[in-house]
């Protein structure tokens, strides 16, 4: 029996993957249970042809990933209030199993504290899951579901009450770390996040550094993330650890210059409202295996 959890889906696109987008939309339409209403946001680009019944929004400029997704949220009413939860899916992803939506409905219905579900991402050809797609430090076993402290931006479901309570994704981030910012705010408000290995999104294996702005955005937004969310004593610890990890990874000189440029930008530009998490949340993050110093 279909559980009374209303689902919607938000997909943002640059209009350059029409075949992949159509396959994703078909996989959403094929999900068991009640129909999932879908909104496709053209992020500064026209939306390719989509099936009948799929709503579209075309933005005159690229607002970035969080900004585009926020527009999609509002297409479902203020903070997405027309539905109980929203799926956020990359436009080159695909739901290979037809029960993913039902698993989401059951998970949210069974656990009133569950605010966010992050899916397991697999390569469609090899079935492999990259370590960086398992949102915890102990990432060797991607088949183990668990509570986690962040989620994957293009393969997740968020209860809309979370958005109404803690606010949307930070649009000023444009790209990188916007999920962790929302996750920390949700955890601080008492919501839980689950990584579910049985909820799968197929997505081609890629490197995040393929984006030209990757190193600058990662560094800038890391500083913004700390400035916005961490208690003051933890900010230098958190950023110091990430500076050390970056140097140990020995990036190329151009990448390192871009990273330091973003790091400086993170300190010299506005980061949005500061709402430091409670120390109780710091302890919760630590118990979940991800203390907010790494």
pLDDT at res. 138: 85
Ranges of the chain whose pLDDT falls below 50: 1-2
Beginning with the edge strand found earlier in the chain, give each strand of the sheet holding 37-42 in spatial order.
55-58, 37-42, 7-13, 85-89, 155-159, 114-122, 192-202, 146-147
* Cα 30 to the center of its chain, rounded Å: 23
Q: What are phi and psi of 201, to 5 degrees?
A: -120, 125
> Cα separation of 84 and 109, whole Å?
10
Residue 153: exposed, middle, or buried by beta-carbon count in 10 A (0-12, 13-18, 19+)?
Answer: buried
pLDDT at res. 113: 98
Local structure of 117: helix, strand or coil: strand
Residue 10: exposed, middle, or buried by beta-carbon count in 10 A (0-12, 13-18, 19+)?
Answer: buried
Given the DSSP bridges, would you call strands 146-147 and 85-89 parallel, antiparallel or unpaired?
Answer: unpaired
Residue range 7-202 forms a domain whose CATH class is alpha beta
- Tell whether pTM > 0.75: yes
């Amino acid at each position: 029996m279909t559980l009374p959890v209303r689902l919607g889906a938000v997909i943002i696109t640059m209009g350059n993957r029409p075949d992949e987008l159509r396959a994703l939309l078909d996989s959403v339409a094929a999900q068991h249970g009640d129909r999932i209403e879908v909104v496709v946001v053209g992020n500064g680009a026209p939306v390719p042809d989509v099936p009948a019944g799929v709503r579209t929004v075309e933005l005159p400029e690229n607002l970035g990933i969080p900004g585009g997704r926020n527009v999609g949220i509002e297409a479902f009413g203020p903070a997405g209030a027309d539905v109980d939860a929203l799926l956020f899916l990359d436009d080159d992803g695909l739901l290979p199993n037809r029960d993913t939506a039902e698993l989401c409905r059951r998970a949210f219905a069974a656990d009133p504290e569950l605010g966010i579900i992050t899916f397991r991402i697999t390569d469609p050809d090899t079935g492999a899951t990259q370590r960086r797609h398992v949102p915890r430090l102990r990432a060797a076993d991607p088949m183990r579901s668990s509570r986690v402290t962040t989620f994957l931006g293009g393969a997740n479901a968020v209860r809309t009450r979370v958005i109404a309570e803690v606010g949307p994704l930070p649009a000023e981030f444009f790209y990188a770390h916007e999920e962790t910012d929302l996750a920390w705010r949700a955890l601080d408000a008492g919501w839980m996040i689950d990584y579910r290995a049985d909820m799968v999104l197929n997505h081609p294996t890629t490197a995040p550094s393929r984006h030209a702005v990757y190193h600058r955005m990662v560094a800038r937004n890391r500083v913004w993330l700390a400035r916005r969310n961490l208690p003051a004593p933890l900010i230098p610890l958190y950023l110091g650890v990430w500076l050390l990890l970056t140097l140990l990874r020995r990036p190329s000189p151009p990448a390192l210059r871009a990273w330091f440029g973003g790091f400086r930008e993170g300190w010299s530009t506005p980061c949005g409202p500061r709402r430091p998490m409670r120390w109780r949340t710091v302890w919760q993050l630590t118990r979940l295996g991800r203390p907010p110093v790494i």
